[in-house]
Amino acid sequence: MSYFKEGEYALIRFEEKKFLKKLLKGHALNVRKEVLKFDEVIGKPYGARIGKFEVFKPDLEEIILLGFERKTQIIYPKDAFYIAFKLGIRKTDKVLEFGTGSGALCAVLSQLAGEVWTYESVEEFYKTALKNFRRFGLGANVCSHNEDFGKADVPEEFFDSAFVDVREPWHYLEKVYKSLKNGASVGFLLPTANQVIKLLESIGDMFGDVEVVEILQRHYKTISERFRPEDQMVAHTAYLIFGKKVRG
Amino acid sequence: MSYFKEGEYALIRFEEKKFLKKLLKGHALNVRKEVLKFDEVIGKPYGARIGKFEVFKPDLEEIILLGFERKTQIIYPKDAFYIAFKLGIRKTDKVLEFGTGSGALCAVLSQLAGEVWTYESVEEFYKTALKNFRRFGLGANVCSHNEDFGKADVPEEFFDSAFVDVREPWHYLEKVYKSLKNGASVGFLLPTANQVIKLLESIGDMFGDVEVVEILQRHYKTISERFRPEDQMVAHTAYLIFGKKVRG
Amino acid sequence: MSYFKEGEYALIRFEEKKFLKKLLKGHALNVRKEVLKFDEVIGKPYGARIGKFEVFKPDLEEIILLGFERKTQIIYPKDAFYIAFKLGIRKTDKVLEFGTGSGALCAVLSQLAGEVWTYESVEEFYKTALKNFRRFGLGANVCSHNEDFGKADVPEEFFDSAFVDVREPWHYLEKVYKSLKNGASVGFLLPTANQVIKLLESIGDMFGDVEVVEILQRHYKTISERFRPEDQMVAHTAYLIFGKKVRG
Amino acid sequence: MSYFKEGEYALIRFEEKKFLKKLLKGHALNVRKEVLKFDEVIGKPYGARIGKFEVFKPDLEEIILLGFERKTQIIYPKDAFYIAFKLGIRKTDKVLEFGTGSGALCAVLSQLAGEVWTYESVEEFYKTALKNFRRFGLGANVCSHNEDFGKADVPEEFFDSAFVDVREPWHYLEKVYKSLKNGASVGFLLPTANQVIKLLESIGDMFGDVEVVEILQRHYKTISERFRPEDQMVAHTAYLIFGKKVRG
């Protein structure tokens, strides 16, 4: 089971470059005049070194960053990983998410949760997320709805946690509140300080233990004789806001 | 099931302060002349607002930072969350970890994995981790060994991923390599640049797709009229190094 | 001239600790059971090593952080150094500043400028800044006013640049604008995102080339065998906003 | 004197774009189908708004980043500004620098110092720096040497501070030490952790009050309704190391 099969996605490293490729017979990857024939990869063990190439099973961060088709701004893995644990999800939990977007967070949540219910009103995004899941064998426990969460018929006191990724989350606070069990965690992702300020104005009555946090990721060059950070980094993706349902 | 029971741990917020307390009958929390009697909390729903207090089920970050007894430097949740996903752990995976330390990472890994085998040579640390797990109902799928990984009898080509948190990981590279399945992910946590440089010198033959990364967490004050970052932050915990087993 | 004189301030290092002390006869510094008698320092060259102590002339950052009396939140050297150059000050320039606060920025500006005019409405702050300047021999070219800039009689088209450090700078934009020469630079320091948003709403008509920037400073431990960042850092002091006077 | 003259450099803003251009008669700038004729700029006041363009005198950061010809990696203004003040330079000080590189730091040092002596062994770099100074009217008090500092005839106990920007500064420590007055400050700029570790191994005997620091600069978008950091930032330029000459 740790051998490459035809049709599987492979993470191919060539020096400092990374590629995510589907292993189709007769296909190949050309980099700087070197060729990796996929016929030679199929049947090889994960982690095979072939000439100057190394071929791996991709990790979840690599799948999302290199493999996901994006119709929206995706939630970065650095943020998604933090969110998934911060929501305190356990293996039997039911988690609510909207909007689905390209499905990056949903793919991460589904690894921790029992099931994820996700809502996306824009059909194009809904379909893209489904395609991303299918392509990489993710989201088996995801229940996708092509529906506006605000208008959807959602069960009450049902979810163990929720994550909200829409432009104006304050319109949905009451409905999210009702859908959650007592004390359940909720998270929000917002790119601008203006949005955070507006959310903080209204969140306090329904949710407590409120936190706002940014996650920054600093990569380093991996040459042992010249250890130093990369020249450039992602400076901002979004502010993450967390709270827990309170009862007066 | 979302009501506080006697003996359960509660996360108590009072204004900007946070406390993690065991709900024992007859006990209470005093903050700035306000009193929260735990008898009044027991039986209340999670997220109860009682006077100026709010009482929640703690999330995993709060449990680790406020509740774990530490005999060693713990792995911070910001790092542990990233590591757990970056290792690409799936629900049926067997994960190797050493040293266990205070058990913070182990608690996080166990939420994603099928089972975690963890090794710790120092008896005091081994016992502390077990105590931390028991206290917070964590680690049901963790197999703890009070044993030096270097001397332990470890199965070969057995683990789907591994995490190494010891001062001189280069001594263990070969043994870790053998214990892993083809292409399996390995992670390391090292506080100093000298250690990273030394690891990078020797890792390349056995592991590919090497990455070195730092995770930084910037908290914000949550008062909507004065939105701004906190004054102080944790500037450094450790460098995280990841690789995947290669075969020549 | 590079010998310590009585009454001079000295930066004293003892292992990783730093002290800023006035060298008075008969006085001494006690650290971890070691004693440095100031009588032995007076007359020694700058940079003298005396037992386990090292004694230096302090640099400007050390003077501000360790020596300045603070009645207000001070402007950190990391910010002050950036501001001073970003304003494009030349040796013959006239620079306007308000409010003076504890005088930290003013001390820095005065090193680059021909003269600095500074305004502070609160008498206590005004006096503290003057005391700080006198104590460390700074600010010879500073013209201090104990006066509200908004009410002061200020010359028009007179200053080459200006820096504004008050809570509600939008009230003063017009007056600052008038006081500046064509194209002159202006800077602002604001701790909260709400203030920056409010300033950005109104600044655009009068000032162009607007930039908002944060300066972060990450210190490292200096032990060569364990090179790594310090554990804690200052996460936030303020947002810096810069613009230049425009004419329609 | 605050009117644009022919041949002067202008910082031209067009929406979020910035250009540094020499104002030559008959020339123009085309951006997104809009044209700014330089004939219309000449004679206008600094800060003139002409159509959708705004035209300013550039600040020092803009001159270095947009205007300096680079044959080497330049020292970024964020670092140069910090260095210049951290060295504690006063208006009458003599400052030593090597290597000159493209002259970015030298241009900054010269604004604070009485005079700067700079050494550069590579003729091409030496000439580039001189060209950069001439072009922007900088460096009047700079004494440039096209000479290897290690071989140059340098006066002893002469400089008030020094800055070293070469790959292997440990070879020059003794000579720098001798050239400095008692207690004088020295700074170094090194891109990799390996270099810093090597420098820290040897610096301690000659220099005390050693600090290692990184300066990070986070820019924000300036649209008031969507206040947020820029997407990307410079993650690393170099580590800055400072010390002061000690005498045993």
Give the CATH number of the domain where residue C14 resides. Answer: 3.10.330.20
Contact D47 C239 (CB under 8 A): no
Residues C50 and C119 in one domain: no
Note whether residue A185 is domain-resident: yes
Residues C68 and C90 in one domain: yes
Residue of C nearest to A192 (CA): C193
Last residue of a domain, one of A24, A41, A58: A58
Residues A116 and A216 in one domain: yes
Residues C79 and C43 in one domain: no
Residue of C nearest to D220 (CA): C212
Last residue of a domain, one of C37, C58, C79: C58
Is the complex ipTM higher than 0.85? yes
Query: CA of A182: how far to CAs of A206, A240, B17, B137, in Å?
Result: 11, 21, 21, 20
Contact D218 C223 (CB under 8 A): no
Percentage with pLDDT > 70 across chain C: 100
Query: Burial of C48 by CB count in 10 Å (0-12 exposed, 13-18 middle, 19+ buried)?
Result: buried
A197: contact with C, CB 8 A cutoff: yes
SS3 state of residue D66:
helix
Q: Which residues of A touch C228 (CB under 8 A)?
A: none
B209: contact with A, CB 8 A cutoff: yes
Can you give the CATH number for the domain in which C134 is found? 3.40.50.150
Note whether residue C219 is domain-resident: yes
C233: contact with A, CB 8 A cutoff: no
Return d(Cα B47, Cα B55) in angstroms, integer.
5
Residues C70 and C20 in one domain: no
Residues C85 and C46 in one domain: no
Return d(Cα B105, Cα B84) in angstroms, integer.
8
Residues A218 and B212 sit within 8 Å (Cβ to Cβ)? no
For chain B, 248 residues long, give each residue's pLDDT as a single digit of tens. Answer: 589 999 999 999 999 899 999 999 999 999 999 999 999 999 999 999 999 999 999 999 999 999 999 988 889 999 999 999 999 998 999 999 999 999 999 999 999 999 999 999 999 999 999 999 999 999 999 999 999 999 999 999 999 999 999 999 999 999 999 999 999 999 999 999 999 999 999 998 899 999 999 999 999 999 999 999 999 999 999 999 999 999 87
Contact D227 A194 (CB under 8 A): yes
Tell me which residue range forms the domain holding A127. Answer: 64-245
For A93-146, what is each residue's pLDDT tens digit?
999 999 999 999 999 999 999 999 999 999 999 999 999 999 999 999 999 999
Residue B72 token pair: 């060693």
Q: Which residues of C touch B228 (CB under 8 A)?
A: 191-193, 236
Q: How far is A74 from chain C (nearest CA, A)?
A: 25
A30: contact with C, CB 8 A cutoff: no
For chain D, 248 residues long, give each residue's pLDDT as a single digit of tens. Answer: 589 999 999 999 999 899 999 999 999 999 999 999 999 999 999 999 999 999 999 999 999 999 999 988 889 999 999 999 999 998 999 999 999 999 999 999 999 999 999 999 999 999 999 999 999 999 999 999 999 999 999 999 999 999 999 999 999 999 999 999 999 999 999 999 999 999 999 998 899 999 999 999 999 999 999 999 999 999 999 999 999 999 87
Note whether residue B3 is domain-resident: no
Residues D43 and D109 in one domain: no
Note whether residue C3 is domain-resident: no
Q: Which residues of C touch D220 (CB under 8 A)?
A: 196, 212-214, 239
Note whether residue B141 is domain-resident: yes
Residues D15 and D47 in one domain: yes
| Three-class secondary structure assignment of chain C | CCECCCCCEEEEEECCEEEEEECCCCCEEEECCEEEEHHHHCCCECCEEECCEEEECCCHHHHHHHHCCCCCCCCCHHHHHHHHHHCCCCCCCEEEEECCCCCHHHHHHHHHCCEEEEECCCHHHHHHHHHHHHHHCCCCCEEEECCCCCCCCCCCCCEEEEEECCCCHHHHHHHHHHHEEEEEEEEEEECCHHHHHHHHHHHCCCEEEEEEEEEEEEEECCCHHHCCECCEEECCCCEEEEEEECEC
- Structure confidence at residue A208 (pLDDT): 94
Could you tell me the pTM of the whole model?
0.96
Q: Which residues of D touch B194 (CB under 8 A)?
A: 197
Note whether residue B20 is domain-resident: yes
Residues C94 and C34 in one domain: no
Residues A219 and A185 in one domain: yes
Residues C216 and C115 in one domain: yes
C236: contact with A, CB 8 A cutoff: no
Return d(Cα B237, Cα D215) in angstroms, integer.
19
- Selected for mutation to probe chain C from A190, A196, A197 (highest C CB count within 10 Å) is A197
Q: How far is B71 from chain C (nearest CA, A)?
A: 18
Q: Which residues of A touch D74 (CB under 8 A)?
A: none
Residue D45 token pair: 């006041």
D194: contact with C, CB 8 A cutoff: no
C193: contact with A, CB 8 A cutoff: yes
**Which of A226, A227, A234 shows the shortest C-beta gap to D231?**
A234
D226: contact with A, CB 8 A cutoff: yes
Note whether residue B113 is domain-resident: yes
- Selected for mutation to probe chain A from D236, D237, D239, D240 (highest A CB count within 10 Å) is D236
C218: contact with A, CB 8 A cutoff: no
Residues A122 and A172 in one domain: yes
Neighbouring chains to A with at least 3 Cβ pairs closer than 8 Å: B, C, D
Chains A–B, number of C-beta pairs less than 8 Å apart: 208
Q: Residue B164: name the closest of B99, B248, B72 by CA.
A: B99
Note whether residue A4 is domain-resident: no
pLDDT band of A204, cuts 50, 70, 90:
confident
**Which of B192, B229, B235 shows the shortest C-beta gap to C230?**
B235
If one counts the domains in chain A, the total is 2
Return d(Cα B75, Cα A100) in angstroms, integer.
31
- Structure confidence at residue C1 (pLDDT): 59
Residues D25 and C222 sit within 8 Å (Cβ to Cβ)? no
